[in-house]
Copies of this chain bind each other. A is one copy, B any other.
Amino acid sequence: MAQKFNEMPAYGKLEQLAKSPYDLTAKEALTPERLERYRAEACGWRLLYGTERITDEVMAALEQLAAQSQALSWMARMQGGEVINRIEGFESEEREVLHTAMRDLFDNPRSEEPAKKAAAQARTEHEKLRKFLTQIGDRFTDIVQIGIGGSDLGPRAFYLALQAYAQEGRRAHFISNVDPDDATRVLRSIDPKRTLVVVVSKSGTTLETLTNETLARRYFEAHGVDPKDHFLAVTGEKSPMDDPKRYLASFYMWDYVGGRYSVTSMVGAVMLAFVLGHEEVLELLRGAHEMDRVACRPQLRGNLPLLGALLGIWNRNFLGYPTVAVLPYSQALERFPAHLQQCNMESNGKHIDRHGQPVTWATGPIVWGEPGTNGQHSFYQLIHQGTDIIPIELIGLCASQYEQDLEVQGTSSQEKLLANLLAQSVAFATGKSDRNPNKQFEGNRPNQLLMADRLTPHALGALMAYYEHKIAFQGFIWGINSFDQEGVQLGKVLAKQFTDQMIAQRTGAKSAPWPVGEALLNQLKL
């Protein structure tokens, strides 16, 4: 059995070092030399981490932790297609984890059989997609994506992030919530005659998604439009949704790609290729693929996701901070924190290790965030002067997407945006003394800056993969399985009990007595 996280030699060393972390508020604590020393780069993204509470000693111990946990070997096993989604000794999903194969379509492909096979399957789907897009020509202007969780958050965040690259007149819309008002609001805003609907469910049985599909089909029919000429399925091969009688086309996804890692599969690609064009989607995939390769680099400084993972573990397990705020200074990334929230919290919100033993250390943090500068006028008050410390991940882009800008008071909007980004990084780190206690800033809010030139499809692909692998590395180091989600099951079972009870109440059928369930249902009476 592998060594436990808190039994590795580096763990004890880091615990010692955490007793006196680097003081960013000290005079001359933040210098150009420090900024240069703690700077790494890959795929066009620069990570500036001199504003974290780290020293060379901390970094060396973190690197040992990575080695002792065999993080790189786990990454290779993952990308090669070993069955790593499992809990040893207990019933579990027993699957490969091959989202990286979905973009292994470029240089330096993996040579392991499972990875090669999955990449070939991905290539086949992209061929189908390319032909399909040619066939439909200009018949459609809009696309509605119906899905939930990974079939919604990633695709939605990416659509918003890349809207600036949309083909003239093409738009996407999203229906996810089982709340019927979600579907109604979206359906009322589109013209069914000119609209494609892509329904996404791996199993073909996701209740929210099937219910919303039914609402959408009904709406199309009511407007004299035959759904089978407008609806697409993204689903598992041979799932109940893989049915040419009901869909204009089907694109496949496989159980070796988890929902929260699926945006570079057909789950995101169909909608994005319709809106942006297929070439732009390939650029997105290329950026992700390049970062996939970076995640395999042996040197810590060159392996950006591993470096990010270790900095996160320093803040989480040794400095003891339970949350992380992701603050992109880019309105296009407005829903990127929601995507990361799923990817991170569903992956690493775990309480047992890979052997089924309860963990005795903190695992995945609470991830949240909103774009800057908006957040500055909202919750930054608490980050600067609250009673809890929140590690911060700032994301910035040097240039805007549309390049529609003008100077007001001597600087452009983009310059103001960047000035604020840098200002916050410094303010969080150094704080400020003042005789008025209400104007006192304690500083030592650990933060890091992730910068690229511009938010292109390529840069977004690399950013996404950076976070995916950062999360995977943290899971490897903590010794947990980041790829299942058993924690969602209990709610499903109980929801079924409640709907059964609702049906029983309506039909007068007998049901097992359930006093608490009935008491709660009584609260719903208007």
In the complex, which residue of chain B has the Cβ closest to the Cβ of A207?
B416
Inter-subunit contact A405/B180 (CB<8 Å): yes
- Proximity string of chain A (325-358) to chain B, C-beta cutoff 8 Å, 1 when within and 0 when not: 0000111100000100110011011111000111
Contact of A498 among B386, B422, B484 (CB under 8 A): B422
Inter-subunit contact A451/B495 (CB<8 Å): no
Asked if A373 is at the interface (CB within 8 A of a chain B CB), the reply is: yes
Inter-subunit contact A526/B398 (CB<8 Å): yes
Residues in B neighbouring A414, C-beta threshold 8 A: 179-180
- Proximity string of chain A (190-232) to chain B, C-beta cutoff 8 Å, 1 when within and 0 when not: 0000000000000000011011101100100000000000000
In the complex, which residue of chain B has the Cβ closest to the Cβ of A32?
B519
Residues in B neighbouring A361, C-beta threshold 8 A: 387
Asked if A8 is at the interface (CB within 8 A of a chain B CB), the reply is: no
Contact of A419 among B364, B390, B502, B525 (CB under 8 A): B502
Q: Given A30-B516, A330-B179, A502-B411, A487–B441 Cβ distance below 8 Å?
A: yes
- Proximity string of chain A (498-526) to chain B, C-beta cutoff 8 Å, 1 when within and 0 when not: 11001100000000000111111101111
Looking at A84-92, A270-278, A305-313, the stretch in contact with chain B turns out to be: A84-92
Interface size band for A: 35 or more
In the complex, which residue of chain B has the Cβ closest to the Cβ of A211?
B408
Inter-subunit contact A520/B486 (CB<8 Å): no
In the complex, which residue of chain B has the Cβ closest to the Cβ of A347?
B381
Q: Given A91-B436, A494-B427, A179–B358 Cβ distance below 8 Å?
A: no
Inter-subunit contact B180/A503 (CB<8 Å): no
Q: Name A352-370 residues within 8 Å CB distance of B.
A: 352, 356-359, 361-368, 370
A361 to B386, CA, bound (A): 11
Inter-subunit contact A346/B491 (CB<8 Å): no
In the complex, which residue of chain B has the Cβ closest to the Cβ of A455?
B181
Asked if A479 is at the interface (CB within 8 A of a chain B CB), the reply is: no
A36 to B520, CA, bound (A): 10
Residues in B neighbouring A415, C-beta threshold 8 A: 499, 502
**Minimum distance in angstroms from A513 CB to a CB of chain B:** 11
Inter-subunit contact B178/A417 (CB<8 Å): yes
A329 to B498, CA, bound (A): 16
Q: What are the 4 closest A-B residue pairs judged by CB atoms, nearest first?
A: A349-B382, A149-B377, A423-B494, A349-B386
Q: Can you list 24 residue pairs at the A/B interface with Cβ under 8 Å? A: A32-B518, A36-B519, A90-B437, A153-B378, A178-B413, A179-B330, A180-B412, A181-B402, A215-B404, A259-B377, A322-B388, A342-B378, A345-B379, A364-B387, A368-B368, A381-B488, A384-B487, A386-B487, A409-B499, A411-B503, A419-B499, A423-B492, A432-B490, A451-B524
